[in-house]
C-alpha cells in the first residue's frame, strides 16, 4: 500500500466518522429541541456540570468546561450565559482564586437534565440503529457499541456515565 493509498483510506475513515457524528448529533438535536427546548450543546453542558462534586478537583473552571464541551472559551461563555438566563445554571467566584469562576447546575437545571436524559438516550439509540444499516457506518457503530459494552464490564452500571 502506498502512502497516498494509506492517507486516502485514513481520510475515508475520517469522513465516515464525521458523517456518523453529524447524523447522530442532528437526530439528537431534533429530539431535544422538540421535547425539551435544549440543544445538544446545552444538554452536554448540563451533563458535564452535573458530574461535578465537592472536594479537590470537583468543580470545573470555565476553561475546563470549554474543553469538556469542545467549544471555544467565548462560545462556552455565551452558552453558560444562555442557560444562566433560563435559571438552569449559576456562576460564582472560586474561593481559592477570586479570578476563577465556577458554574453549577441549579435544581431546575438538574430536573430538566433528568427529564431530557431519556429523550437523549432514545434518540442516540435510534440514530445508531439507523446508522448500523449503512454499510459504510456499520463498523463505526459496532465500535461505539463495543466501547459501551467494555465500559459496562469495567464498572458497575450505577457508576457508568451517560453518553
pLDDT tens-digit series, residues 100-143: 788 899 999 999 999 999 999 999 999 999 999 999 999 999 99
Task: Name the range with the highest mean pLDDT among 17-21, 144-148, 157-161.
Answer: 17-21
16's grid cell: 465516515
Residue 96: the pLDDT is: 72
At 158, the pLDDT band (50, 70, 90 cuts) reads very low
Collapsing DSSP to helix, strand or coil, 103 comes out as strand
Q: Would the pLDDT of 36 be above 90?
A: yes
Q: Taking the CA atoms of 131, 137, 139 and 144 in sequence, report the sign of the dihedral they define.
A: negative
Beta carbons of 60 and 52 less than 8 angstroms apart:
yes
Q: Taking the CA atoms of 13, 18, 19 and 23 in sequence, report the sign of the dihedral they define.
A: positive
Residue 153: the pLDDT is: 66
The percentage of the chain sitting over the pLDDT mark of 70, rounded to a whole number, equals 88
At 161, the pLDDT band (50, 70, 90 cuts) reads very low
Amino acid at each position: 500500500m502506498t502512502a497516498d493509498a494509506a492517507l486516502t483510506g485514513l481520510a475515508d475513515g475520517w469522513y465516515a466518522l464525521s458523517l456518523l457524528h453529524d447524523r447522530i448529533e442532528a437526530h439528537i438535536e431534533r429530539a431535544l429541541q422538540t421535547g425539551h427546548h435544549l440543544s445538544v450543546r446545552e444538554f452536554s453542558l448540563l451533563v458535564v456540570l452535573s458530574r461535578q462534586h465537592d472536594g479537590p478537583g470537583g468543580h470545573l473552571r470555565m476553561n475546563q468546561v470549554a474543553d469538556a464541551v469542545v467549544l471555544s472559551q467565548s462560545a462556552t461563555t455565551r452558552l453558560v450565559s444562555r442557560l444562566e438566563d433560563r435559571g438552569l445554571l449559576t456562576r460564582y467566584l472560586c474561593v481559592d482564586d477570586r479570578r476563577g469562576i465556577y458554574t453549577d447546575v441549579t435544581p431546575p437545571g438538574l430536573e430538566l437534565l433528568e427529564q431530557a436524559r431519556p429523550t437523549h438516550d432514545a434518540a442516540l439509540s435510534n440514530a445508531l440503529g439507523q446508522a448500523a444499516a449503512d454499510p459504510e457506518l456499520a463498523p463505526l457503530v459496532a465500535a461505539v457499541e463495543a466501547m459501551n459494552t467494555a465500559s459496562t464490564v469495567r464498572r458497575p452500571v450505577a457508576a457508568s456515565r451517560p453518553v
